[in-house]
Amino acid sequence: MIAELGLAMLWLASALALLQLVAGALALTKRGRELAGIVRPAAVIQGVLSAGSFLALIALFLRTDLSVKLVATNSHSLKPFIFKLAGTWGNHEGSMLLWVTVMAMAGGFIALFERRLRDDTMLATLAGQAFVSLGFYAFLLLSSNPFERLAVPPPEGNGLNPLLQDIGLAFHPPTLYLGYVGLSIAFSFAIGALVTRDVGPAFARAMRPWVLGAWIFLSLGITAGSYWAYYELGWGGWWFWDPVENASLMPWLAATALLHSSTVLAARNALRAWTVMLGVVAFSMSMIGTFLVRSGILTSVHAFAVDPERGSFILALLAIYIGGALALFATRAATITEGARFAVTSREAALVVNNVMLSAILGIVLLGTLYPLLTEAFGEKVSVGPPYFNPIGAIFFVPMLIVMAIGPMLRWRDDRAGRISGKLALPALAAALTALGLVSFAPTIKPLPFLGMALAAGLAVASVLPLVGRDLRRTPLPVYGMVVAHLGIAVALFGVGSDSAFSIEKLVASRAGESHKVGPWQVTLRSIEPVAGPNWTALEATLAATYDGGRLSLLRTQSRNFTTPPQLTNESALHTRWNGQLYVVLGEEADDGRWQLRLWWKPFVPMIWYGGLLVGLGGLLALIGRVARDMKRSRAEDKIAYRRARQGR
């Protein structure tokens, strides 16, 4: 019954999306004006219905209703509650339903809360959102129905992949999806603005908070995914330039560029066509990423069901939406002028450079990801990996960091270099001192980590400078947001540099009682014993570690044996200090009764993820500031309108 209800709600929601599209499009014409009234309610109800449908699927998973095919193939009655819940989106169909739900709810929220856009642009935007949603409703209902029943329910479900039975993974996909799909709002805004040729500061101000919201989730989702890979995979790596990781990075790069260019548009009414373009590109990258991952045309570690039919379906959607939006852009953008010119030393010039660099990095990542596909068309296999992405990306990343340090201190319109050069001495000093320290303590350091750490130190100092000399209580929240987010980049970069320059790896074969030195740590294997969990059994190694002869800490690492489905996973053990992390993994038993242990001392590595969290927090501060200011303004406008109405009476 719940499954049928969920499916019915999904069909109804898609019908409403169709209504929203047709009514919205007709309302833009002279004769259909009276239809304008139903567009917003349609969007809201569509959001509610698809949320209801998603809740229905969650209910089915929580009850482990094995008559539903999706539940039977992905769940198991003995799974802990949280993983039954996570199982809802831990599969193709469920995650596509989540995708559609987020998209519909985003449309609903715009319909409810967005009041700044011109009426016709608003109609075009909601019609655009419905248009995009329709394709994904069709995909879900025609080729990936999550509510399909089984004629004969099996006695027990197949279970969830043990690698996914992890608390991090329970939250990582929804977070990332809120980010990916949230960017559909920017896409619809861009389409709406192109249709009505209404690209200006008001458009930028209206779009910015929505993009900011999606961007926060995207930043946090990528950070969480990276940390998960780090502790779950057991080799201490946190970013592999795998196609699937690149697929999440590309929308983030585009959205970051979009946030900055929309600031220029809002403040200076410039970069109009460029901002609209980025709005289209950001969500296009989300869709392209989804396509690359689900069609299976790229070789990735993240295994996927290779389904050519689904791949072609998504490719058709890409052609319609991205191709359509870009064609619309090409025909309309000629009438959108780019606006005022810039002085070389000005805030907007710095933001333009930032945009160019971010776009170039995006281009490099996209090219590197697709290149193996291109050479395969010529009958040759190549691999493009870290040795390409790191140095080539740095060509653009390094200038961007420098501009990031300087830009926030520049004034809009026009500034004198001399005004800020005094202020810049401090970050330059920090960078120079760090460089000096690195060269003297680690003369063999490689150029990229060296550059990264020195620039990170400079940027960290520079990022807080915009607050110096300001009345901190009257400084608007978005400024704090910028400071925190930029600081987050510096922190993360420092962690990245330190990890690649100073990590110490130790592979040992060990017996209980034996002791090993890893950097400043002395690690002793105490015992190896069997333990049992709710749906697994494991061998657990207990290790005692002391840092530089200090206090003893115990670490436990497991080699887990899951039964449904059968699989072994390694649970690494981490010990975090202020200056780094000790990372321990239990390997196999060797013939002589010794156990393989992999030990790492990774100085300052947690800064990578602290930095990611700071970036997200910065976005949140900016978002709160912007929303609060908008609410204040609209309340003031209401008051004025009210007074006018009374006076008029």
Query: How far is it, in rounded angstroms, from Cα 191 to Cα 324?
Result: 10
**Would you say 120 or 414 has its CB closer to other proteins?**
414
Q: Whose Cβ is closer to other proteins: residue 37's or residue 323's?
A: 323
CA separation for the pair 24, 32 (Å, rounded): 9
C-beta of 1 vs 303, nearer to other proteins: 303
Distance in Å, CB of 142 to other proteins, minimum: 17
Residue 37 identity: G
Pairwise CA distance, residues 208 & 212, whole Å: 6
Maximum pairwise Cα distance, the chain: 96
Report the alpha-carbon distance of residue 76 to residue 158 in Å, rounded: 6
> CB 234 → other proteins: shortest distance, Å?
7
Bridge partners for 134 per DSSP: none
Residue with tokens 């359509």: 324
Distance CA 162, CA 561 (A): 9
CB of 186 to other proteins, least distance (A): 15
Question: Which uninterrupted H or E stretch holds 104?
Answer: helix 92-113
Smallest distance from other proteins to CB 69, Å: 9
Q: Is 71 helix (H, G, I), strand (E, B) or coil?
A: helix
Specify the long-range contacts of residues 327-335, CB closer than 8 Å, at least 24 apart.
328/191, 328/194, 328/195, 329/190, 329/194, 329/273, 329/276, 329/277, 329/280, 332/194, 332/195, 332/197, 333/194, 333/273, 333/276, 333/277, 335/197
Nearer to other proteins among residue 505 and residue 514 (C-beta)? 505
Token pair recorded at residue 132: 């995009």
Which is closer to other proteins, CB of 22 or CB of 343?
343
CB of 94 to other proteins, least distance (A): 7
For the CB of residue 541, give the shortest distance to other proteins in the complex, in Å.
14
Query: What do you get for the CA distance between the two ends of the chain, in Å?
Result: 57
d(CA 64, CA 66): 6
From its phi and psi, is residue 271 left (phi > 0), alpha (psi between -120 and 50) or beta? Answer: left
Q: Report whether 302 contacts 244 (CB < 8 A).
A: yes
Residue 234 or 625 having the CB closest to other proteins: 234
**In terms of CB distance, is 296 or 533 closer to other proteins?**
296
**In this complex, which beta carbon is closest to other proteins, that of residue 249 or of residue 623?**
249
Q: Using CA atoms, how far apart are residues 624 and 219, in angstroms rounded to an integer?
A: 17
User: What separation in angstroms does the CA of 478 have from each of 265, 482, 484, 600, 628?
Assistant: 16, 6, 10, 39, 11
Question: Least separation, in Å, of the C-beta of 647 and other proteins?
Answer: 32
Q: How far is the CB of 645 from other proteins (least distance, A)?
A: 30
Select 125 or 503, whichever has its Cβ closest to other proteins. 503
C-alpha distance from residue 393 to each of 145, 222, 225, 385, 403 (Å): 40, 18, 21, 12, 16
Q: Outline where 114-146 has alpha helix (H).
A: 119-143
CB nearer to other proteins: pick between 42 and 333: 333
Residue with tokens 């290149």: 371
CB of 627 to other proteins, least distance (A): 26
Q: Which is nearer to other proteins, 111 or 222 (CB)?
A: 222
Least separation in angstroms between CB 639 and other proteins: 29
Q: How far is the CB of 533 from other proteins (least distance, A)?
A: 16
- DSSP letter for 149, please: B
Cβ nearer to other proteins, comparing 507 with 641: 507
Shortest distance, CB of residue 443 to other proteins, whole angstroms? 13
CB 494 within 8 A of CB 607: yes
User: Nearer to other proteins by C-beta: 462 or 508?
Assistant: 508
Burial class (CB in 10 A: 0-12, 13-18, 19+), 468: exposed
Q: Which helix (H) or strand (E) holds 620?
A: helix 607-648
92-113 and 167-182 helices cross at what angle (nearest 10)? 50
CB of 31 to other proteins, least distance (A): 28
